């Protein structure tokens, strides 16, 4: 378990750190913040794509301790969701992109996210087999490729969209030649196979949590998109440049608990309500504690760190970071809450939790940004996640009391 936690954490933090480094490099390799704004806009749509493309299936897959569905079932379903999400997010990107250049960047970034979403189903197989070393190795390789190809692509072509397409091709090769081979060794078969009936049942059972995660992705994405449309892509690029380092904190906090979801699911399945509740509480406190501690540490070095990364032009905006880190901590707690609700088969409640956060954000983002400009985004999100987390904790407490599970299951 310790080795799995270590590999999962190191690999995920390294990979997400490389994605964050890409947001730094896009500023350094561009004449202004325009490319940074387009990349931030594309990433905001990419968050929505991830929820649809993965269909939030990994937690459900890992909690399937009785193996009611085979690896081939999950792989086949992932083909369906990946291509379906490409169509849906492509249409959405066409509708909301402020310029044709931004739309091209969005399309290129969605290709990259398609591969990332597909390989996630293999990561689920690896996790069930307690081989998260494969996941960590895969993400380290991908992180190196992301940075190397991005720098090379930007220097040789100067095109952000082309650099993203090249990253997609590089990561796709890792999926084909590394992940497929490794995961095939821990499952009976990765060959995609699923009946129409089973596919529809899986889609139906997980739909509430998917809808919840789409809404959850929209909380920050829609807020940033509104800000970018209202105040310009350069302003959004500045905000994203300051706030993006916080993602590393979120990823580290999240990946500390991912390997522990399986054991909690086994306790829930065995009917050991007290042990499962105790483990769930420790998990929540672990994520909150780690995220808060890292946020405090990063706040101390905020100005010299951001100045080193972006230069003196970023100094007037350093005050955004502490509040952005509060948002990041709450996002990490929201992830652990929704994952635990999935483990407890309260999939519909994941939609409600995220729906509350989205509704509060939608009502508050305009007045907050009108009053406080960039920090208005942070204030709006802090209020939204605080209210939704309070509701989620109450639901999780009631779900963990050992009452009979009323959620749908697949036979």
Mean pLDDT in consecutive groups of 10 residues from the start of the chain, 411 residues: 82 86 85 82 86 83 81 93 94 89 94 95 91 94 96 91 96 96 91 91 84 80 84 80 72 69 78 80 82 79 78 80 86 85 81 91 92 90 93 85 46 35
Q: Which of 325, 164, 185, 363 is nearest to 244 (CA)?
A: 325
pLDDT of residue 245: 67
Q: Let me know: does 38 contact 161? Beta carbons within 8 Å.
A: no
Model pLDDT, residue 380 = 93
In a domain, 343, yes or no: yes
Asked if residue 409 is part of any domain, the answer here is no
- Residue 409: predicted pLDDT: 37
Number of residues that this document lists for the chain = 411
198 in any annotated domain: yes
Distance CA 79, CA 75 (A): 7
C-alpha 222/C-alpha 220 separation (Å) is 6
> Residue 126 falls within a domain, yes or no?
yes
Helix, strand, coil percentages, rounded to 5, for the chain? 85, 0, 15
Which residue spans within 34-164 are E strands per DSSP? none
Residue 406 domain-assigned (yes or no): no
* Number of domains, the chain: 1
30: which 2 tokens? 């561009």
Domain-located, residue 148 = yes
Report the alpha-carbon distance of residue 16 to residue 245 in Å, rounded: 10
- From CA 240, how far away is CA 242, in angstroms rounded? 5
405, part of any domain: no
The region, left, alpha or beta by phi > 0 then psi within -120 to 50, assigned to residue 311 is left
pTM listed for this prediction: 0.72
Phi, psi torsion values for 260, nearest 5 degrees: -90, -5
- Domain holding 180, by residue range, is 2-399
| Confidence at residue 1, expressed as pLDDT on a 0 to 100 scale | 75
């Amino acid at each position: 378990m310790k080795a799995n936690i270590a590999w999962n954490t190191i690999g995920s933090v390294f990979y997400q750190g490389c994605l964050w480094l890409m947001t730094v490099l896009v500023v350094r390799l561009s004449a202004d913040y325009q490319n940074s704004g387009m990349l931030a806009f594309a990433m905001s749509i990419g968050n929505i794509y991830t929820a649809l493309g993965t269909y939030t299936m990994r937690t459900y897959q890992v909690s399937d301790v009785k193996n009611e569905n085979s690896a081939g079932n999950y792989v086949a379903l992932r083909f369906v969701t990946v291509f379906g999400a490409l169509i849906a997010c492509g249409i959405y990107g066409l509708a909301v992109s402020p310029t044709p250049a931004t739309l091209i960047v969005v399309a290129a970034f969605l290709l990259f996210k398609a591969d990332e979403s597909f390989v996630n189903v293999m990561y689920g197989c690896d996790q069930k087999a307690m081989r998260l070393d494969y996941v960590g190795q895969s993400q380290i390789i991908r992180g190196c490729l992301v940075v190397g190809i991005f720098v090379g692509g930007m220097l040789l072509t100067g095109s952000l969209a082309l650099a993203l397409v090249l990253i997609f091709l590089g990561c796709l090769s890792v999926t084909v030649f590394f992940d497929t081979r490794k995961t095939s060794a821990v499952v009976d078969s990765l060959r995609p196979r699923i009946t129409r009936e089973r596919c529809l049942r899986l889609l139906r059972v997980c739909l509430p949590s998917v809808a919840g995660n789409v809404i959850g992705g929209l909380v920050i994405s829609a807020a940033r998109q509104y800000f970018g449309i209202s105040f310009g892509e350069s302003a959004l690029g500045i905000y994203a440049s300051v706030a993006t380092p916080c993602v590393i904190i979120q990823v580290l906090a999240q990946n500390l608990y991912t390997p522990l979801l399986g054991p909690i699911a086994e306790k829930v399945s065995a009917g050991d309500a007290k042990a499962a509740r105790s483990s769930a509480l420790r998990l929540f406190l672990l994520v909150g504690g780690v995220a808060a501690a890292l946020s405090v540490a990063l706040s101390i070095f905020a100005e010299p760190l951001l100045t080193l990364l972006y230069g003196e032009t970023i100094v007037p905006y350093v005050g955004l970071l502490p509040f952005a880190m509060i948002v990041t901590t709450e996002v990490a707690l929201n992830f652990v809450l929704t994952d635990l609700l999935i483990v407890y088969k309260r999939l519909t409640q994941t939609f409600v939790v995220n729906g509350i956060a989205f509704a509060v954000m939608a009502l508050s983002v305009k007045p907050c940004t009108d009053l406080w400009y960039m920090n208005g985004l942070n204030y709006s999100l802090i209020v939204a996640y605080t209210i939704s987390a309070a509701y989620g904790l109450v639901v999780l407490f009631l779900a963990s009391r050992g009452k009979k599970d009323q959620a749908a299951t697949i036979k």
